[in-house]
Structure 1
Amino acid sequence: MNIIGPFMAGCRALAASLPNRCLLCHQQVAAPGSGICLTCLQTCLYRTPVCLGCGRKLTILARYCGGCLTTRPLPVIAPASYHSLLGPLIPRIKYQAQFAAMPPLVTALVQQVNALHAAEVIPIPQVLIPVPLHPRRLRQRGFNQAWLIARMLGQQLQLPVADGVLQRVVATLPQTGMDGRARRRNLRGAFRVMDKFPYQRIALVDDVVTTGTTVDEIARTLAPWTPDIQVWCLARAEAPGV
């Protein structure tokens, strides 16, 4: 990870040079490099409680809707839907190294986590674990967006980031266009725990959760060590009809 220091310095320099314009409405924003104005951000965030299993709207704040109570899927905490106006901004972080949207979305995620914890819907984890990239993909891209998000979350929530205990040992194919069965086959055996794992409560961190196949495979890999796994992301893509 010796590229991270210079990379983060480059991120700070880039943020400082960004025009003070909202990426969505192009109006001026108050803080340099903040990327999204408060009005646009509030418009795109969830306005009602949502089920942490499927993303369905709820009338009261709870962990799961009635349907998810029976299956209890991995809880996914996100401040917004990927199908909102924020959705197109997230791939720019990963594929174009455009980071201006990341700070306000991370702050919105922190607020969502704090609200759910205050309502006793979720516990605060002991550690944050970014979804890892295969070393080959990391060299090609130059950074892991999940690690950058986890680092910002850790700073705001005073939580450690465990980097290296989970590694991606299979260079999987890109999953765009794959159905659920193909995604599961593609990811089978892709992750490995590389060190002692003393944590009972963890939060996996990623930029976006779509089908959930990646985090489900990681949870299966970590199941012998930890009984309490959450997923934190900047946005989630709910299933059609939700």
Structure 2
Amino acid sequence: MSKLVFANKISDLVKSSKSLYQHASVVLLGSLPNRCQLCQHRIEQLDYQQLFPRQVLSGICQACLAASLYQHEVCLGCGCSIPQLQAYCGKCLKHTPMLVIAPCSYHQGLGPLIAAIKYQQQCAPLNAITQQLAIRVSQLIEHKLIRAPQVLIPVPLHPNRLRQRGFNQAWLIAHRLSKLLNIPIDDTCLTRVVDTVPQAELSGKQRRENCHNAFQLSKAVSYQRVALIDDVVTTGTTVDEIARLFSQQFTYVQTWCLARAEAPGLLD
């Protein structure tokens, strides 16, 4: 037997073993106790693995997930309800704000789960919600309402906050999106240089002051298009501050997040 034939057989054996291992992992995970964090019912896989092969739905059942997603189109600028799929509402067309893409509203079901990911390390539903974000992004790209970015950039934490929390939820989201959409991550070009207080505790004016000059680019960037990745966008203060830095490098910025916390009344 030649060395080439032997090497090919070994390679096939490794691939086969890896496939069997992945299949066994899915079967095992699917058999473990797995309840929805919203309705507390057991999560049934049903046709989920047909949509996402070798993935186990966890943390949220399909019924609660479907009910929590946007049931109508929303403006990618302000987040208000609009009658058809398009980028902006009439008001936002006048000044074309930064695009913010999310699969759902923070206020309509998934807010507690997304908050628990950040503050309680309850990451079970992270994959399922990120997959819905990837589907939303793919839909908008297919309809030519957005252009695919060249790179994903997770909103960074200050080193002090990272040590305290133990992980950056934005990086986890970006890592999963990178695999789903085949877009690379760059987590080296942007740093947080000010250890700001949590934005959730602040008013709109305080948020702007809190984030002013809180970030810096650690190197010159050559990207024409980037997507900032975060868990939630509320007033947009954080991503606007980062976008200002990239605009100085003539880089187009859009934001992708798990949920958008719109201003009251926009979805009525």
- TM normalised by structure 2 equals 0.82
Aligned to 1:108: 132
- Superposition pairs for residues 90-239 of structure 1, below 5 Å? 90-239=114-263
- Superposition pairs for residues 63-102 of structure 1, below 5 Å? 63-102=87-126
Aligned to 2:35: 21
Once the 2 structures are TM-superposed, how far is the Cα of residue 175 of structure 1 from its aligned partner?
A: 2.2
More helix by share: 2
Deviates more, 1:192-201 or 1:173-182: 173-182
Task: For residue 71 of structure 1, give the secondary structure of its aligned residue in structure 2.
Answer: coil
Once the 2 structures are TM-superposed, how far is the Cα of residue 174 of structure 1 from its aligned partner?
A: 1.9
Once the 2 structures are TM-superposed, how far is the Cα of residue 139 of structure 1 from its aligned partner?
A: 0.8
Specify the code of the residue in structure 1 equivalent to 2:168.
N
Aligned to 2:70: 46
Task: For residue 167 of structure 1, give the secondary structure of its aligned residue in structure 2.
Answer: strand
**Does 1 or 2 have the higher relative contact order (CA < 8 Å, sep 6+)?**
1
Once the 2 structures are TM-superposed, how far is the Cα of residue 33 of structure 1 from its aligned partner?
A: 5.6
Structure of higher CA gyration radius: 2
Aligned to 1:61: 85
Q: Distance in 2 between matches of 1:18 and 1:123?
A: 40
Aligned to 2:44: 30
Unaligned runs of at least 5 residues, structure 1: 1-11
Specify the code of the residue in structure 1 equivalent to 2:193.
V
Task: For residue 188 of structure 2, give the secondary structure of its aligned residue in structure 1.
Answer: coil
Q: Distance in 1 between matches of 2:225 and 2:109?
A: 32
Specify the code of the residue in structure 2 equivalent to 1:20.
N
CA contact (8 A) 2:223 2:251 kept: no
CA contact (8 A) 1:201 1:226 kept: no
| C-alpha RMSD over aligned residues | 1.7
Q: Distance in 1 between matches of 2:250 and 2:69?
A: 31
CA contact (8 A) 1:19 1:33 kept: no
Once the 2 structures are TM-superposed, how far is the Cα of residue 228 of structure 1 from its aligned partner?
A: 1.6
Q: Distance in 1 between matches of 2:111 and 2:137?
A: 20
CA contact (8 A) 1:18 1:33 kept: no
Once the 2 structures are TM-superposed, how far is the Cα of residue 196 of structure 1 from its aligned partner?
A: 2.5
Unaligned runs of at least 5 residues, structure 2: 1-24, 46-55
CA contact (8 A) 2:75 2:89 kept: yes
Task: For residue 228 of structure 2, give the secondary structure of its aligned residue in structure 1.
Answer: strand
Q: Distance in 2 between matches of 1:168 and 1:192?
A: 7
Specify the code of the residue in structure 1 equivalent to 2:110.
L
